[in-house]
Structure formats: structure tokens, C-alpha cells
Amino acid sequence: MDVTSGRAPGTMELVALGDSLTEGVGDPHGRRLHGWIHHLTQPPAPWRLSANLARTGARAAHVRREQLATAVALAPAVATCVVGVNDVLDRRFDAGRFAVEYEALVGGLREAAHVGVLAMTLHDLSEGLPLTRRARTSLRSRTAAANKVIEEVAGAHGAWLLEAREAVAFRGAGMLSVDRLHPNRRGHRYLAACAAEVLRGEGRVQHTAGPPAADPLGLRLRATGGHLRWLARHLAGSPR
């Protein structure tokens, strides 16, 4: 073990692509964001985060156009690709168009990342949002269509798949942030634990920490305040 970094020798480079979830919205740390990708790559994990290219509001087409070339140029060992939320929040969502963009995105990453690519399905986005029954049904239908694409493309390219559909309900488990869409700090750490478990199953990680315990009340209140301030500065009330 490297005593200066806490990492094992031969630490591999990881590049993250995607939207606000991977950027870390919901897990503020001062004026910065942490998020699940930060927690996943902390020592003694065998990955070093060389770049987090994820940006709030990104859709699959944006990730392909604005992030893919940079990720390919970095030639990482591992790439993570988590996208689709902003696509399905749009009522004009076109599953066929999403499939074209997602196929090109994952295919390009799979060729560039010499160890592997980690993808993630979408959880039930409607569970925390104030929607009518009709709107909730429609959003769930679009989410299911996107998940079908994600599952098929990941399988075709041999990408590792984190099944967020099988994760616990964020709202019921106290892991949803105050914007009712993103995970809070505990939720992000939970996603990191789920991702680590997928990598452990693939023989890429030896040990995982397991799901995180609930934070103390004071820490939860401070995190909520930090997230509200972040929302006020960056999102201006626009859903992402």
C-alpha cells in the first residue's frame, strides 16, 4: 500500500461522464460538490478519479458531443457513464433517438477504457416529485423505455451495470435531497456502495464498505442548508 495516498500500487485512472447525479448535486462540500463518484474513488479504492466531466442538465446527446472526446483522449482504465434523467424528464422523449446517442456513447467508451465501463439504470424518478397521477404514469413509462435501452446497450458492449431499479426507494430510506430529485449525501454514499459492489462482483474490488448509516441530525441539517444554497446559486429553480 502507498503510505502517502493509502492506495495500492498500480492504481488505475477513472473518468466519469454524465449529468448532475455524477457531478454530485445533492452532496455539497463547501462551495464544491462531492457525489457518489467522489466516494467511490476514495482510498483504498483501486481507482483514481482523473476527471469528472459530468455536468448538470446533460442529456445523452450532450454527453456524447461534449464529454466523450475528452474521455477517449484520457484513455482511462475505467469510465463511468450515468445519463438519461434529463432525457426522460422531457415529455418529448424519443426512445429511438436516445438509443442512437447512448449506443455511440457507450460503444466509444468501451473502446477507450481498457478495463471496463460502468453504466447505471435510472431509478423511479417520480417517487419524490409532486406529480399528478397521469404525469407520474407517463414519466415511469419514459423511464422504463430508457432503462430498456441502457440494459440492452450495456449488455451488447459488455459494460458493467448498476441496477438502480433494484435500489431501495431513496425517499423512504431518507436518502433524497430537498429538491426531491437528487440523492442527499447519504444517498450518494449509498450509490457509491452499490457501484463498489458491482465492481466487487466483477472481480475489480476486493472489499466493500456496505450501505452507509444515517448521518447525525446536525450533519443532515447542515447538508440540507448547503444543498439549498447550491440550488439557489446554480439551478435557479430549474429542474435538473
Question: Which residues share a beta bridge with 29?
Answer: 32
Check the CA dihedral 140-56-210-112 and report its sign. positive
What pLDDT, on the 0 to 100 scale, is given for residue 224? 58
Q: pLDDT tens, 79-130? A: 999 999 999 999 999 999 999 999 999 999 999 999 999 999 999 888 878 8
| pTM, rounded to two decimals | 0.84
Helix (H) or strand (E) holding 48: strand 47-52
Give the residue with greater pLDDT, 63 vs 184. 63
Query: What's the rounded Cα separation, in Å, for the pair 161 and 119?
Result: 5
For position 235, what pLDDT does the model report?
Answer: 47
- Measured CA to CA, the distance from residue 17 to residue 76 in angstroms comes to 12
Alpha-carbon span 183 to 166, nearest angstrom: 15
C-alpha angle 100-141-95 in degrees, rounded to nearest 5: 10
Helix (H) or strand (E) holding 208: none
Q: What is the pLDDT of residue 213?
A: 58
- 144, three cell numbers: 422504463
d(CA 120, CA 122): 7
Cβ atoms of 10 and 230 within 8 Å: the answer is: no
Residue 144, CB-side half-sphere exposure with 13 Å CA sphere: 6
Count of C-beta atoms within a 10 Å radius of residue 94: 12
Write the burial class of residue 9 (CB in 10 Å: 0-12 exposed, 13-18 middle, 19+ buried).
exposed
Q: Which residue has the cell 457525489?
A: 35
Residue 66 pLDDT > 50: yes
What's the average model confidence in pLDDT over 214-233?
58
Spatial CA neighbour of 97 closest among 146, 135, 164, 136? 146
What are the tens digits of pLDDT across the range 3-62? 334 445 468 999 999 999 999 998 888 778 899 999 999 988 899 999 999 999 999 999
pLDDT tens-digit readout, 164-200 = 987 666 656 678 888 878 888 888 999 999 999 999 8
Fold (topology level) of 12-234 = Rossmann fold (3.40.50)
Residue 208 confidence (pLDDT): 59
Which pLDDT belongs to residue 239?
A: 41
The domain ranges of the chain are: 12-234
Query: What's the pLDDT at 179?
Result: 82
